[in-house]
Chain A
Amino acid sequence: MSSRSFRRSALLGAGLAAALAVGAGAVAHQSGDGGAPRLTVADPYIPLPATPGGTGAGYLTVRNSGGADTLVSVSSPAAGSVTMHRSTDSTMEQVDRMDVPAGGTLDLSRGGAHLMIMDWTRQPALGDELELDLQFAKAGRVVVRVPVKPLTYRPGS
């Protein structure tokens, strides 16, 4: 199971890097693991849950032009529970950390690593912007404003 997950995340990473016209080999060398991470968050979104107020997902990409870091938790004033998961071929498993490689990306996208959001403080609606607080081991707290998008939305579409 874990080796499958690893293969998938490797594939996703490679796909994203290619789409950004950044060679997958070129992004990994910038700085050693010892440097401070330099993180930016791109394309965050929450698809409108299929059941109004029901279990939702959160997707985003963390880009790192510095040293390695780790996403250790996520919370939100908009929801009672935000947990980190990884979909596998037949189920999803909760994870307690997600690595952000030095000079690389952490990609949370459909069918792979994602956030699971439950216990909304109020039912999310299209056009809402909700706050996600990402807690990284080294970079600390990064606050992201995340738009609620249509159920089938994908970045770039």
Chain B
Amino acid sequence: MAPLPRPRPRLLTAAALVLGASLALSACASSGDGGESTGAAKVSKKASTSRYQGTVLSKNFEKPDLVLNDTSGQPYDLRARTAGKSVLLFFGYTSCPDVCPTTMGDIGVAMSKLTAEQRAKLAVVFVSTDPERDTPQVLRTWLDSMGKDFVGMTGDLAKVKAAARPLGIAVEDPVVDAKGAVTSTHGAQVLAFLPTDDKAHLLYMAGSSIDVYKHDLELMADGVAV
């Protein structure tokens, strides 16, 4: 790895990753559905003993009940198809030049360092926030650059928004400018759902390193609890 420190999206994030989950509430503060946390004190205690390097979530979101098309154009039921696996979930769009390919590329590199047996226990799922342009085929081509076995989901944007909102991930309609450049607003965090209860337990902000992903994906593959 490069000796350069990885950029952090904001000070809060850097602090959260260093200090563990005591700041997890801050990382999700923009969710708009706050106030239902299970208690900061409990979370802090949990975080201090966690072997995971991602931010331990105080609120364990349900895995979204989301059915969209996969990259072969067939319906993909997120809950049914990923049951029993640890799932990394990210919302983004393929004409995003910076954060989306960086995040998915880094996860791809981390996955490539695992054994086939470890990878079989994990699923990386990318949900498009620009379904109009991200057809199944466009999505497959884009994902193949980062992970041949990555799952891509695309379809009704209203369903995508509804799935993202309870996770504290804001998704808005994409905006296309006069030159055809697309900008989509989407929370850039990656959520990890664990198979023990199929709920989200860990959060990775944009800028989390390949090493952090590799470290935590290995733990997930081994079934280590948060």
Contacts and interface: CB of A to CB of B under 8 A. Distances in A.
A151 B100 CA distance: 11
B188 A90 contact: yes
B181 interface: yes
Contacts of B146: 50, 151
B2 A55 contact: no
Given A47-B101, A50-B146, A157-B1, A91 B186 contact: yes
Given A152-B109, A155-B4, A90 B97 contact: no
A16 B187 CA distance: 26
Contacts of A154: 2, 4
A8 B146 CA distance: 26
B165 interface: no
Contacts of A155: 2, 4
Interface stretch (B42-50, B137-145, B217-225): B137-145
Interface string B196-212: 00000000001100100
Interface in B63-120: 94-99, 101-102, 104-106, 108-109
A22 interface: no
A93 B184 CA distance: 10
A71 interface: no
B186 A114 contact: no
Nearest to B186: A90
B41 interface: no
Contact of B170 (A90, A156, A157): A90
Contacts of B97: 49, 55-57, 85, 114, 116-117
Contacts of A117: 97
A92 interface: yes
A23 to B, nearest CB: 15
Contacts of A142: none
Interface residues of A, number: 43
Interface in B16-35: 30
A16 B194 CA distance: 36
B99 A92 contact: yes
A89 interface: yes
Nearest to A80: B179
Given A54-B142, A85-B98, A118-B180, A90 B7 contact: no
25 contacts: A4-B10, A8-B9, A15-B7, A48-B145, A50-B94, A55-B95, A55-B97, A85-B98, A87-B98, A89-B9, A90-B187, A90-B188, A92-B98, A92-B99, A92-B183, A109-B7, A110-B99, A116-B97, A116-B98, A151-B101, A151-B105, A152-B102, A152-B105, A152-B109, A155-B4
Interface of A: 4, 7-8, 11-12, 15-16, 18-19, 47-52, 54-57, 81, 83, 85, 87, 89-94, 109-112, 114, 116-118, 151-152, 154-157
